[in-house]
Amino acid sequence: MNWFGRRSSRGEDELEAWIQRLHEQRVASGQTQPVDPCPDEEFLRGLAKRSRAISLSDARIDHAATCPTCMNRVVALRNENRERNRKLGYALAAAMCLILVAGIFGWFHFSQNRQQTLALAQPVSKTVDLWNAATDRGEQPGQLQSVELPAAVVRLTVILPRFSPSGEYLIAVTRKEDGTGVVAEGLAPTDAAGQQERISVALDLRTVTAGAYFLSTTHEQDQAAYYYPLRIK
């Protein structure tokens, strides 16, 4: 007879075999009524768990082997233990699933954030053609093509107006036409392409709010600045 209905360790088998032997002896001798009073619940729990703390010579085992009340209680406790272990197993499996899912989500989130950061840092190339823009001081460059830049890191190439001198230029994005309220700027030398003089600068416009601004070009030597309306979207 297997009291506990599962595979057991050696110590557990010993206790179980002992209980069984006692039970058989009792039945063989016709002594089927338990002698002592029933042991306390803690002892029965130990028996149900086949605790190694219980000595085989403990007289209470002798009692439990013949007492139907105690034996029923031991079997019930044993089933409770098994149920608890089963639930614990499910809970563990569920916890591991959660950790796995959280890990996958975390990884996705991390890699997506990284991609977004890279995308933001990836400069957007833009060219502003001022070739036909008026350069006479005081004249409003009204007929200029509409210049529009995204609120991003912009690699801006400016084609300077006809007859512009070569040299270093400061390219700036300002709030006002008088050159105040600079939101981004970059200094670079001109690069001749045929008749045209070009400047290429990187402008970080990521934190700039959308709206109307001015793009200015200032030659390092004559310090003459030209302003062109600009829109950041």
Q: Which residues lie near Zn ion (CB under 5 A)?
A: 38, 67, 69-70
CB of 58 to Zn ion, least distance (A): 14
CB 183 within 8 A of CB 230: no
CB of 28 to Zn ion, least distance (A): 20
Report how far residue 192's alpha carbon sits from residue 172's, in angstroms, rounded to the nearest whole number: 20
CB of 63 to Zn ion, least distance (A): 6
CA-angle at 214, arms to 212 and 216, nearest 5°: 170
Q: Which is nearer to Zn ion, 72 or 111 (CB)?
A: 72
- Give the strand pairing for 147-149 and 191-193: unpaired
CA-angle at 75, arms to 70 and 77, nearest 5°: 90
- From 132, 128, 135, 159, select the one nearest 143 (Cα to Cα): 132
Q: Which is nearer to Zn ion, 38 or 124 (CB)?
A: 38
Give the nearest residue (CB) to Zn ion: 67
CB of 48 to Zn ion, least distance (A): 14
The two three-digit tokens of residue 105, written as one number: 């989500």
Q: Which is nearer to Zn ion, 33 or 146 (CB)?
A: 33
Q: Which is nearer to Zn ion, 62 or 197 (CB)?
A: 62
